[in-house]
Amino acid sequence: MKISFELNGLKRELTVEPGEPVDALLRRIGVISIRNGCNGEGMCGACSVLVDGRTVNSCLLVAAQLDGRQVQTVEFFSKHRTLSVIQSALVDTGVVQCGYCTPAMVVAIESLFQRSAHPTREQVTDALSGIFCRCTGYEQFFQAVELAAQRLADPDFKCPPVAPSFREEMRVVGKPARKVDGSKLARGEKAFVEDMVEPGACVLKMVRSPHAHAYITSIDTSEAEKVPGVVYILTHQNCPDIYYNQAGQGFPEPSPYDRKMFGQKVRHVGDRVAAIVAETWQAAVEAEKLLRVEYEVLPHVLTADEASAPGAPILHNSVQEYVVGAPEGLDEQNRQADPRDGRILYQFPIHADPRRNLAASVHGGIGDLEKGFAEADVILEREYESAQVQCTPVEPHVVYTRMDGDRLVIHASTQVPWHLRRIVARLLQTDENHIRVIKERVGGGFGAKQDIVLEEVVAYLTWITGRPIFQRFTREEEFIASRTRHVIKIRVKLGAKKDGTLTAVYMGVKANTGPYGAHCLTVPMNACSKSLPLFLCPNMGFDVHTYYTNIAPTGAYQGYGAPKGSYALQLAVAELAKELGMDHMDLVEKNRVREGVMLEILRCLGEGREGQPEKVMSCGLGPALERGRELSQWGQRVQSEDPDWKIGKGFAIIQQGSGLPGLDSANAEMRMLSDGTFIMLSGGTDLGTGLDTVSVKFAAEILAVDMTKISILAGDTDVTPFDVGAYASSGTYFSGGAARNAAQNMRQRILEVAAGLTGEKIEDLKLVYPAQVQGREKTITYREIAHFAETGTGCGQLIATGHFIADKASFPYGAHFCQVAVNQRTGEVKIQKYFALEDCGTPVNPELALGQMYGGVLKTIGHSMYEQMIYGPDGRCLNPNFIDYKVPMIQDLPEEFVAELIQTDDPYGPFGAKSISEITCNGAAPCLAEAIHDAVGVWIRTWPFTPEKILAALGKL
Amino acid sequence: MFREFYKPATAAEAVELRRRYPTSLYLAGGAEVNSRGGHARCAPGVEVDRAIQIAHLPLGGVHSTGNGVLLGAGTVIQELIENPEVPPLLARAATQFANRNIRNVATLGGNLAINRSCSNLIPSLLALEAEITLLGPEGERAVPLEQYVAGHDPASLLVSVRVPRQRLEAPWATRKHSRTVNDLSIVSVAVVHEGSRESLRKVAVALGGVAPTAVRLHDLEERLEGQALPDRDTLEGWVRGMIHPIDDVRGGAAYKRQVGAALVGWALHHAAAGRGDKA
């Protein structure tokens, strides 16, 4: 049918399929700012546009409904290259993180300002109530709208600082400044993988297992292949016989190579059965219907307890091989293997026993636990369990691959471009020089994009067929075939003297890794390594056992194992305080980590390698606790006016690491351009966190120039040097450290050349702002140096590289406090106050660091209170969508929500900086659980803390 | 997915199209029928392929009349919040409906016609003893909303909703219990009563989420007629015995029963205290 409507002020007449969703239609005609995060459920709002001035989800409209309407998208509001007042305010206040939802937020706020020139907090909440953002935690949107309102009322409005500044002696480090990619994202420009797809690209549709555990007894693709437009079908029958692990970890990985791209055995509902490459989606759908697959269905297990029970069905009855360290008796075990299960290759022992479904195990400790418990006056033993939660980046997993001559180009939304290249090269049996990975802007990663969950198949099929191929996960695939938090049950046993001195601390970790062993050793181990070192106790021990089961795959998720370990250990300490009749904070003060102490426990907590004791060089825990005590009015009971509601408080202390010393490595390169400005080539992978901005700030600080004099290219394996990627909170520390080192080497080059040109000694020269080298007598500009370098008699372009590794660890610390009200009759919990105090050393981008804190806290409030993947008895996830799996939206914010940065100066981190991202995920669960207990007297020892569990604990059900 | 679109000139024409095509549905805002790329069903297993557009028909508007308030079925939910003519109970329930993006397209008639137990608008209108006007092949007829909800008739076109005048001034309360604010309700309640706390009259108690459709608790209402308001625990005990929710992904039966009972007790006390517009 023909429709006529106004798009961004211009009349458009189109012939359309009347049932085409409007979000797809708008993208098809070139409005690329329209995003899609829920496959047209209408739950995420990423496709928001204004229709006749009202914010609506364009995915909920069909083309026919557009007839005669007026449509405005973000493109309408920023003319040419300028930013609108609202876009500027969003960038200035740091709410543009990954940027995937930003265009939607812009139009919603534009519409809000049409209703009100000075919106209240309530109006802002209402205006943004339908748009899901997983990064920011929404809190700074209030600030952004306030700033926009001021600027709209008074164009000369002098903006007060949007966030505190740190490190007075520095020009740019520690100061709020516009994120380097902020403008592009706020304008909704071409930035993400889906924007790079060229016309004519094929699509890939993954056919997935309907069974939780089964052998494929036959696959007949012959009819499916006859469908016009079908290009190739890949199954276990024609897939290379190469085993690997999808975890994007450094090689050799501590995760077992326990899968092929396609196996004869499927191990979870949603496991791969066949990949159909077709010229159109319709052809792929048609082919899927004609695919004949027969299964021999096997019994399945969904929990670690079931998996570890005697006689449990074995997920990987595979032939085991070891690169090094094969255990004894392997041949005997291998004789009993079932060839249909395939093989497992271990790079080194992770103490697995797949015939018992044991994916990995580790044990360790210091001192003498038995002696410690014998010395205790009080022993407390409790068990805590986390739920399976999904990362839910608004941009699902997506990849576009194409050939460029004989080379393969992968446009990826990944946290690990170089691991991706390595893994793909191995599967293609080619060399890495034939592959280029371009990390585009990433619409949220949160750990799910640390793993190679779709890229390798698409890459392989482009390599085979030569065709460009695009694949984008549906929201359901994101739940059932991407990555989730490991389900972990932790038994904590504490021994203490009457005065609260801890005499023994034990954590017994039983983890469920799902069907494959991505991160199966390191995530559960991390539950111990980021929890135990918060307390000083001579006798500590841990046991970790990870089991295979048939739930959806697990893996890395912001915080890694720490949120689970923190929940268990922190809550156990809160319970111990009650048992001892002590104030929880007094008990923590008595036993907590402090600056200058040696953490002996780390000796046995390396990530798949030998650990080493570490000295705590910077620790802001003391000030964080002090500030939290003050903000929360700790110790003062608050009475509710409504007898249904009881009020309680809780707190937890938290830590994380800053990358993986001894394992991680990052590189950067700087080039001076002809006019004395710079290009920074960074291996770092900015996921929206502001890493590119960190790198530019470090270089601008060192080279005495404005940030605008340094442009950055990052995460392109052809162009930028190697970096392990963005995980384990390594960005600022490692990738930032490499950028700093490159800038320092550039400074050295500048000084050397300047010395030659001025005839002064290097030690008499210094860089002075802006872009000059000053000696005792002479001053020379970078422009002059650059010009000299490039002339026929010059020294050649100034190029400097920087490499960063670390052998010392820098731990960020913090404390979270909250106040909740619990309804005794309905079990509802209202989070009245939440205070997050964190020490990330020097906060390099203060407003973005705060945004990471708000985002991480709100995410984990979701995990603690309502998020959970639920399975039916057949192993099928019952809620793989945003209708049934709820994520926090702006209306779910705590009533009072405060994040504050506690400055310390870390001697190892670049400019004293430590990490900020993951630590922020570790506090919500234990502090909320303690507050619920404080309110109504029940300990909720499993995630999530639903009204149903609270009512049950209160004896109301 | 919709393949054919009709734009009838009149409501009667819309009804005729709906009668003629068994695989058709009325398309007002589209919040429901377009969700997930338009995989709506008009009956179990029957995929919809024809849309009868009704957004352009004069079905909107909120009018105060001599015998109450008449709400056009095409009124978008957001207008229920913004229009001062809307009964405060319904306006309050509308604020708890999904989020602004959805409220800007979803219509009152659409929500009633889908008739989900988790709708938090239906209990409000049940408590207000609303009557709806349906247009079928035989012409217009007025039926109590309660009757429509119980014996759902999706083929007729819902034209308007009338809230009787005597319920407009009566004390009321409503509340939605859900995991997140945006979530569909797990249980929702609305009550309206006349008389006083000491002598209740014409109590209407409606609950969503505890039965296949939203329901009135007539047993409870009869028990309360002419009585003084019992205390919360007594009410909870009574209600627990009167409702029979099911176990599903969103919670177990025992939990929903307790929450339903607690919400009814809260709502009756809240209404009797004249605090309907407070949370």
What CATH number should be reported for the domain holding residue B225? 3.30.390.50
Q: A763 CB contacts (<8 Å, ≥6 apart)?
A: none
Domain of residue B39, residue span: 4-50
Contact A886 B183 (CB under 8 A): yes
Distance from CA of A653 to the nearest CA of B (A): 27
Cβ of B102 under 8 Å from any chain A Cβ?
yes
Assign a CATH topology to domain A194-199+392-480. Aldehyde Oxidoreductase; domain 4 (3.30.365)
Question: Are B214 and B186 part of one and the same domain?
Answer: yes
Distance from CA of A247 to the nearest CA of B (A): 31
Beta bridge partners of A379: A495
Domain covering A202-359: architecture = Alpha-Beta Complex (3.90)
Cis preceding linkage at A623, omega within 30: no
Query: Count of alpha carbons within 13 Å of A526, Cβ hemisphere only?
Result: 29
Contact A40 B35 (CB under 8 A): yes
- A287-314 pLDDT, tens digit per residue, is 999 999 999 999 999 999 999 999 999 9
Q: What is the pLDDT of residue B154?
A: 75
Residue A450, token pair as written in the block: 């640390």
Residues 116-175 of B with CB under 8 A from A: none
Mean pLDDT of A807-836: 97
Question: Are B76 and B151 part of one and the same domain?
Answer: yes
Beta bridge partners of A85: none
Residue A17 is given by DSSP the state -
Q: What is the pLDDT of residue A809?
A: 87
Q: What CATH number has the domain bearing residue B158?
A: 3.30.465.10
| pLDDT of A58 higher than 80 | yes
Contact A575, A493 (CB under 8 A): no
Chain centre distance of CA A258: 24
Question: Are B87 and B138 part of one and the same domain?
Answer: yes
| Cα–Cα distance measured from residue A493 to residue A573, given in angstroms and rounded to the nearest whole number | 10
Contact A108, A48 (CB under 8 A): yes
Query: Could you give phi then psi for residue A8, rounded to 5 degrees?
Result: 50, 45
As a whole number of Å, the CA-based R_g of chain B is 19
Question: Are B196 and B152 part of one and the same domain?
Answer: no
B-chain CB neighbours of A19 within 8 Å are: 1-3, 5, 38, 51
| pLDDT of A830 higher than 80 | yes
Distance from CA of A855 to the nearest CA of B (A): 17
Strand, helix or coil at A66? helix
Residue A769, token pair as written in the block: 């702002």
Contact A62 B51 (CB under 8 A): yes
Mean pLDDT of A53-64: 96
End residue of a domain, out of B164, B182, B197: B164
Question: Are B178 and B153 part of one and the same domain?
Answer: no
| pLDDT of B43 higher than 90 | no
Q: A894 CB contacts (<8 Å, ≥6 apart)?
A: A818, A831, A832, A833, A834, A861
Residue B151 lies in a domain: yes
Instruction: Specify the amino acid at residue A465.
Output: T
The mean pLDDT of chain B is: 94
| pLDDT of B277 higher than 70 | no
Largest CA distance in chain A: 87
- B168-226 pLDDT, tens digit per residue, is 999 999 999 999 999 999 999 999 999 999 999 999 999 999 999 999 999 999 999 99
Residue B116 lies in a domain: yes
Residue A571, token pair as written in the block: 């809550």
pLDDT above 70 coverage of chain A, percent = 100
A-chain CB neighbours of B1 within 8 Å are: 19
- Which of A439-453, A726-740, A824-838, B21-35 is predicted with the least confidence, judged by mean pLDDT? B21-35
Same fold flag, A1-162 and A194-199+392-480 = no
| pLDDT of A151 higher than 80 | yes
Residue B57 lies in a domain: no
| pLDDT of A943 higher than 70 | yes
| Cα–Cα distance measured from residue A170 to residue A167, given in angstroms and rounded to the nearest whole number | 6
Residue B279 lies in a domain: no
B-chain CB neighbours of A42 within 8 Å are: 31, 34-35, 101-102
Question: Are B66 and B152 part of one and the same domain?
Answer: yes
CATH superfamily, with its number, for domain A1-162: Beta-grasp domain (3.10.20.30)
Q: What is the pLDDT of residue B46?
A: 78
Assess: ipTM above 0.95. Answer: yes
Question: Are B143 and B74 part of one and the same domain?
Answer: yes
Q: A594 CB contacts (<8 Å, ≥6 apart)?
A: A536, A616, A619, A621, A622
Among candidate residues A612, A655, A588, the one with its CA nearest the CA of residue A366: A612
| Cα–Cα distance measured from residue A655 to residue A237, given in angstroms and rounded to the nearest whole number | 47
| pLDDT of B73 higher than 90 | yes
Question: Are B134 and B223 part of one and the same domain?
Answer: no
A-chain CB neighbours of B100 within 8 Å are: 55, 108, 126-127, 129-130
Question: Are B110 and B28 part of one and the same domain?
Answer: no
Q: Is domain A666-804 classified as CATH 1.10.1060.10?
A: no
Residue spans of alpha helices (H) in A266-350:
281-290, 304-308, 330-335
Residue B145 lies in a domain: yes
Contact B259 A827 (CB under 8 A): yes
Handedness of CA B36, B37, B38, B44 (dihedral sign): negative
A107, closest residue in chain B (CA to CA): B101
B262, closest residue in chain A (CA to CA): A825
Contact B53 A45 (CB under 8 A): no
Contact B268, B196 (CB under 8 A): no
- A452-494 pLDDT, tens digit per residue, is 999 999 999 999 999 999 999 999 999 999 999 999 999 999 9
Cβ of B5 under 8 Å from any chain A Cβ?
yes
Q: Where are the domains of chain A?
A: 1-162, 194-199+392-480, 202-359, 566-657+809-953, 666-804
The mean pLDDT of chain A is: 97
Contact A19 B38 (CB under 8 A): yes
Residue B28 lies in a domain: yes
* E-assigned strand segments in A549-629: 598-599, 614-615
| Cα–Cα distance measured from residue A833 to residue A836, given in angstroms and rounded to the nearest whole number | 10
Contact A866, A924 (CB under 8 A): no
Instruction: Specify the amino acid at residue A2.
Output: K
Contact A19 B2 (CB under 8 A): yes
Among candidate residues A332, A361, A326, A233, the one with its CA nearest the CA of residue A288: A233
Q: Which of B182, B185, B268 to mutate to test the interface with A (most CBs of A within 10 A)?
A: B182
Cβ of B279 under 8 Å from any chain A Cβ?
no
Residue B75, token pair as written in the block: 């009124």
Residue B204, token pair as written in the block: 């209407």
Among candidate residues A152, A294, A139, A283, the one with its CA nearest the CA of residue A854: A139
Give long-range contacts, CB 8 A cutoff, 24+ apart: A461-464: A461/A204, A461/A232, A461/A234, A461/A275, A461/A277, A461/A401, A462/A401, A462/A402, A462/A403, A462/A408, A463/A403, A463/A408, A463/A428, A463/A430, A464/A232
Which CATH number does the domain A566-657+809-953 belong to among 3.40.470.10, 3.90.1170.50, 3.20.20.80, 3.30.365.10? Answer: 3.30.365.10
Strand A2-7, strand A70-72: pairing: parallel
End residue of a domain, out of B105, B133, B164: B164
Q: B29 CB contacts (<8 Å, ≥6 apart)?
A: A60, B55, B76, B105, B106, B107, B110
